[in-house]
Amino acid sequence: MNHPQHVQITEVGPRDGFQAERSFIPTARKIEFIDRLVEAGVPRIEATSFVSPRAVPQLADAEEVMRGVDRSRGAVLAALVPNKRGALRAAEAAVDEMVVFVSASESHNRKNVNRPTEASIAGFEEVARVAGEAGIPVSGAISVAFGCPFEGEVAPMRVGEIAHRFQQLGFAGASLGDTTGMATPPLVAAAVAAVREAAPGLGLSLHFHNTRGIGLANVMTGLGLGVDRYESSFGGIGGCPFAPKATGNICTEDLVYLLAEMGIDTGIDLRKLSGIACDVEVAVGHALPGQIMKAGLRLDLHPMDSVRVAQG
């Protein structure tokens, strides 16, 4: 197999995960979690979002979060930026990277940001200009890249076209988002091939959800294709708006565990990461879907007298 030896993980919990939480997570706690992620060796974090505070009250403290976190350790702190206004705020806050987003399908883009995909992409030029003047790289996220909850199948060609536009805009990379958990191994292979053909050399990240239980199987497909960047969230925090009981993002600890067992380096301290996930679970006040945070590592042994009967 063609597995990469090193994988870069982007932790999206502080943005993608917290955004799905109803009760406000105090700014000081957000800062603490980001600092601990950096300390655990996470190289890139989606720290917050410069969307309208009215649209996403949970992330209304974007400026304070960026001001409060320890920037001395060199992890890349990325932030979501919806438009020029958001880009100006993000530049002022000196984010390390801006992330813009567009859906692969027209229906999802209209539902998400109330405009056609071409209007979204046209708006990225202004973001790229603001970011360029501030010397900040931009990357692009493609939502519903493996299937749309309104339209069904998404053509890999369309995903490739958008990635090509990103490349023309000078973006640092593209992330393919499985927004509602519709990706399967064959669809992953088709989308990766389409992006590589349409935008050769563009950095490629995969952002999977575990909505239907095959998030890590999709990662395995990506690894086999040599993709070395993945996005995930601590504890698997983050839901799916179309399936209230289903999980969203794949879980970072579970992903790091898998990679470590395969001998693939991430630079992340898994025990520290599990500790963070357990504290995030307490902070949000409900169970998170992560497995390693509950089960521990494979060779964490149990004293024989600690269980009454080894059932099953």
Contacts to Mg ion by CB under 5 A = 16, 249
CB of 180 closer than 8 Å to CB of 147: yes
d(CA 290, CA 253): 7
Q: Which of 148, 240, 251, 278 is catalytic?
A: 240
**Minimum gap (Å) between residue 183 Cβ and Mg ion:** 12
Instruction: Compute how many other C-beta atoms are within 10 angstroms of the C-beta atom of residue 21.
Output: 17
Helix-helix angle 185-198:215-224, to 10 degrees? 40
Q: Which is nearer to Mg ion, 120 or 175 (CB)?
A: 175
Please name which of 252, 222, 221, 227 lies closest in space to residue 41, comparing C-alpha atoms: 252
Tokens matching residue 182:
């519709």
Q: Which is nearer to Mg ion, 50 or 198 (CB)?
A: 50
CB of 237 closer than 8 Å to CB of 249: yes
Burial of 189 (0-12, 13-18, 19+ CB in 10 A): middle
**Minimum gap (Å) between residue 10 Cβ and Mg ion:** 11
d(CA 16, CA 13): 5
Q: Which is nearer to Mg ion, 198 or 238 (CB)?
A: 238
Q: Which is nearer to Mg ion, 82 or 128 (CB)?
A: 82
**Minimum gap (Å) between residue 20 Cβ and Mg ion:** 9
Query: Given its phi and psi angles, is residue 7 left (phi above 0), alpha (psi -120 to 50 degrees) or beta?
Result: beta
Q: Is 240 a catalytic residue?
A: yes
**Minimum gap (Å) between residue 207 Cβ and Mg ion:** 6
Q: Which is nearer to Mg ion, 16 or 97 (CB)?
A: 16
**Minimum gap (Å) between residue 25 Cβ and Mg ion:** 17
Please name which of 83, 75, 93, 95 lies closest in space to residue 35, comparing C-alpha atoms: 75
Residue with tokens 């599990």: 274
d(CA 97, CA 51): 15
Backbone phi, then psi, for 208, in 5-degree steps?
-100, 155
Q: Which is nearer to Mg ion, 16 or 96 (CB)?
A: 16
**Minimum gap (Å) between residue 198 Cβ and Mg ion:** 23
Q: How far is CA 166 from its chain centroid?
A: 18
Active site amino acids: 240
